Structure formats: structure tokens, C-alpha cells
């Protein structure tokens, strides 16, 4: 029957369950499709049917929807619509699965949140089918492979620098048919960031505060061992030879050498460009935005902030791909950097009206 909900396996603190009562989000979803006589599957854009993980899946969040770029690179199709209070933390796995957090709103009493906003991690297949909805306060997550996700759980906290108060970290298997499939990773009491490093098949977990001098811990998947590391922030290049540290003024990013844990001097970049992040490829590539000419600061009393009434579309800028191996510019291009993610892990750009993930030869 059209409009029926397919039972969705739910992972709830170590076990997979099937939800019997629709959440507010699900109810809003049903309300949207039921009058049209459409099932969730019928809502999948036909243009996505042929896409595989070999063609990078590109996705973005828009108010009330998660959208996927069609094969033309010029049109977006909604694969998830909901009445969620907030949708964020979007990602696409290397196999094309789409994940994001959907939030139910806080309950306000007086001027405070009596009940904070509640997130659930939603996982869609590349074609838009829902494969899992994971409750229990997932605040951060990282794909380990196409089947496993590592998650940090915690409670939303208004005004908090991380946005939440951490409670724990664990590893989930999405394909397990039943039984306990959540493995808790013990030893990082205040996890605030987690990344999977393919170069050494490990999870790197950052604790909010140092423990015996270490802030970042390595969890080896092969033997489930946890060890402290001297890494400052776990944001590695493809090879793992470098990592990025965000510190100082908010836009300041520094490249560190993983063997020495010392900053790498990059005179070709510093002062003439701003490091945006990694551009995954065969080498250790940085995406750098060329510095914009800035209007001189106004004298005290002359500046007056005001409301920006212009569009919020990303500006067109000049970018470089900088090869850390050769310490040279590898390529340059002019485009806008889109607020979207790709299964390739590459930045998503728009040039000449077409959106695509960067491909570095």
C-alpha cells in the first residue's frame, strides 16, 4: 500500500529496535507525503536512480530538506523533507550513504530550556531510502566505512563552545540484523571531536581537556586499543603526514607536521592566502583561498555595523590547490565554495553555473 512506512531499524544504545510510534519529525514527513499518495520510495528522484558511489554524491541542507545534486550538476532534488527544528552535520560516506542530524525543538519554560533540543542521526541510502535513525543524543559522528559509524553522544547546551556537553563515544554497525551492535569506547571521558583516519585505520578522538598532557587519543580498530597521542587536533591530510590546527583568531589555520608536531612554515601561503582545509587527492593537498583586499580599518568612532541585506550566496573567489609534498601550487581556479558535501570528501564548488566536487588529477 502506498504511503505505508517501511519499518526502520533503530539503534538504541546498543540494540537495534523498530520504532512503533512516529516521532514529530516522522509525523511531519507522513503529513507531507500521505495526501499525495506517495510512499517514501516514490519520492526518490528518478535522476538519482543511476547514481553510484563512483559518481560522487553531492548533498546539501536547505530549510526543511536535504537535497542531492542531480547528474547535470545544475539541479537539486530533495531526498528528505521534514518538519525538524534543525538539520545539520550533513555528510556523505565514501559509498554514497547520506547522514545528518535532525533535531526536535527545545521545550522552553520561563526563559530557559526545560528540555534541550533532541537530535537523532538519520542515515539515508544514496537513493534516498532511510536505512537508520539513531537516537540517544548523537552530537558528532564520523564514517568508518560504508557500514560503521563512530558517534559522540551528549546533551545540547545553549552557549557552549562545542554546542553540547559530551557523555561518551561508541562505534555502531548499521548492517547488523539484530542484537548489540554498539561498542562503547572507554577512556575518553569528554569527547568533543572524532575522525576516522583511513591511512592507519584508526579513530582519533579529541577530549575537551588534556589527560596527562594528551588531548587526542588513537583508537585502533584492528585490536580495539586506545592510546594517547601528541596530536593537537585530529584533522589529517590524506597520507597522515600533516594535520591542521584551528587556533588563535577564528580564521587562523596552521599546518602541523605529524612526525614532529611542530608548525610547518608555508611562506607561499601565509600572508597571501587563507587555508580553508584539505582537498583530498593522491597527495597532501590544501585548499587555499587567495587573500581578499581588505578595506582599511576605520578610525575609532567611524565604523557603524549594520544589517547585511544582501544575498547569502557564497562569493566567487580565487582558490589554489597547494601541494604540501612539493611545496608548490598544484592548480588554481575561480569559483564559489558551496555549502555542500560530497562522497569524495572533496570541497564542493560552483563555476559557470555548474556544481561539482573538486577532482584533483
Partner 1 sequence: MTKSVSMAVKALAGTGVIIAAVWGCSVDLTPDPDPGYDSDGDRISNAVETNPPNVRLYAFDPNVPNTNPSVSRGQTGSPPCPVQASCGWIDNAINLPDQHFGYYHYLGTDAVDTDDWGSLDLINEVEAIARKWYMGPFACMYPQASIPLGRMGVGDLSRGYEQTRNFGGSFYPDHRSHQNGLDVDIRFQWDDGREASLNLESADSLHYDAYRSVALMACFLYGGNDQSLGDQVTTIFVDTIYARINTDGETRIVHDVTHRDHFHVRIVDPNPYD
Minimum separation from the CB atom of position 1 to partner 1 (A): 31
Cβ proximity to partner 1, 209 vs 262, nearer residue:
209
Instruction: Please name which of 159, 8, 26, 19 lies closest in space to residue 83, comparing C-alpha atoms.
Output: 26
Residue 301 C-beta: closest distance to partner 1, Å: 7
> Whole-number minimum distance, CB 158 to partner 1, in Å?
5
Q: Which is nearer to partner 1, 90 or 174 (CB)?
A: 90
Could you tell me the smallest distance in angstroms from the CB atom of residue 294 to partner 1? Answer: 9
CB closer to partner 1, 159 vs 271: 159
- Give me the residues that bind partner 1 (CB under 8 A), please: 63-64, 84-86, 88, 103, 105-106, 108, 111-113, 116-117, 155, 157-163, 165-166, 190, 192, 208-210, 215, 232, 247-251, 295-298, 300-309, 312
Exposure on the CB side of residue 114, measured as CA atoms within 13 A: 4
d(CA 194, CA 146) in angstroms, rounded, equals 17
Contact 343, 94 (CB under 8 A): yes
Residue environment code for 223-236, b if the CB has 16+ CB neighbours within 10 A, otherwise e: eeeeebbebbbbbb
Least spacing, CB of residue 221 vs partner 1, in Å = 27
Q: Are strands 98-104 and 118-124 parallel, antiparallel or unpaired?
A: antiparallel
Q: In the complex with partner 1, which residue's Cβ is closer, 13 or 155?
A: 155
Comparison of 51 and 233: residue with beta carbon closer to partner 1: 233
Q: Which three cell numbers stand for residue 315?
A: 562569493
Choice between 177 and 250, CB closer to partner 1: 250
Nearer Cβ to partner 1, position 55 or 113? 113
- Closest distance of CB 122 from partner 1, Å: 16
Say whether 299 sits in a helix, a strand or coil: coil
In angstroms, give the least distance from the CB of 215 to partner 1.
7
Q: In what order do the strands lie in the sheet with 253-257?
A: 242-246, 253-257, 262-263
For 168, 183, 231, 312, 344, the CA distances from 38, given in Å and listed in that order, are 39, 37, 50, 33, 31
CB of 313 to partner 1, least distance (A): 11
The smaller minimum CB distance to partner 1, of residues 278 and 344, is found at 278
- The Cα 62–Cα 59 span in angstroms is 10
Structural contact between residues 25 and 84, judged by C-beta atoms closer than 8 angstroms: yes
The Cα-based distances of 244 to 91, 269, 277 in angstroms read 20, 14, 8
Amino acid at each position: 500500500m502506498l504511503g505505508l512506512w517501511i519499518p526502520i531499524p533503530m539503534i538504541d544504545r546498543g540494540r537495534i529496535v523498530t520504532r512503533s510510534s512516529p516521532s514529530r519529525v516522522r509525523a511531519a514527513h507522513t503529513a507531507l507525503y500521505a495526501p499525495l499518495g506517495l510512499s517514501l520510495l516514490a519520492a526518490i528522484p528518478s535522476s538519482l536512480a543511476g547514481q553510484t558511489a563512483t559518481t560522487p554524491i553531492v548533498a546539501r541542507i536547505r530549510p526543511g530538506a536535504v537535497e542531492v545534486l542531480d547528474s547535470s550538476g545544475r539541479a537539486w532534488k530533495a531526498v528528505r523533507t521534514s518538519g525538524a527544528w534543525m538539520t545539520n552535520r550533513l555528510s556523505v560516506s565514501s559509498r554514497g550513504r547520506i547522514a545528518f542530524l535532525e533535531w526536535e525543538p527545545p521545550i522552553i519554560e520561563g526563559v530557559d530550556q526545560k528540555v534541550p533540543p533532541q537530535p537523532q542521526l538519520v542515515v539515508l541510502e544514496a537513493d534516498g531510502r532511510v536505512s537508520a535513525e539513531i537516537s540517544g543524543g548523537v552530537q558528532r559522528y564520523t564514517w568508518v566505512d560504508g557500514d560503521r559509524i563512530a558517534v559522540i553522544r551528549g546533551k545540547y547546551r545553549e552557549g557552549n563552545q562545542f554546542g553540547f556537553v559530551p557523555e561518551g563515544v561508541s562505534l555502531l554497525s548499521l548492517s547488523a540484523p539484530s542484537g548489540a551492535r554498539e561498542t562503547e569506547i572507554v577512556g575518553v571521558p569528554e569527547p568533543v571531536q572524532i575522525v576516522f583516519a583511513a591511512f592507519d585505520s584508526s579513530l582519533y578522538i579529541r577530549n575537551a581537556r588534556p589527560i596527562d598532557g594528551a588531548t587526542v587519543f588513537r583508537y585502533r580498530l584492528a585490536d580495539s586499543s586506545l592510546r594517547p597521542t601528541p596530536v593537537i587536533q585530529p584533522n589529517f591530510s590524506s597520507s597522515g603526514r600533516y594535520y591542521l590546527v584551528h587556533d588563535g583568531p577564528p580564521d587562523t589555520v596552521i599546518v602541523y607536521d605529524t612526525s614532529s608536531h611542530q608548525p610547518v612554515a608555508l611562506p607561499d601561503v601565509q600572508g597571501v592566502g587563507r587555508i580553508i582545509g584539505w582537498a583530498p587527492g593522491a597527495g597532501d593537498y590544501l585548499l587555499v583561498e587567495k587573500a581578499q583586499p581588505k578595506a582599511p580599518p576605520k578610525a575609532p568612532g567611524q565604523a557603524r555595523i549594520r544589517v547585511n541585506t544582501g544575498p547569502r550566496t557564497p562569493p566567487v573567489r580565487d582558490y589554489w590547490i597547494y601541494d604540501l609534498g612539493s611545496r608548490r601550487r598544484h592548480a588554481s581556479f575561480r569559483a564559489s565554495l558551496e555549502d555542500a558535501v560530497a562522497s569524495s570528501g572533496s570541497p564542493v564548488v560552483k563555476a559557470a553555473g555548474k556544481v561539482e566536487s573538486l577532482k584533483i588529477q
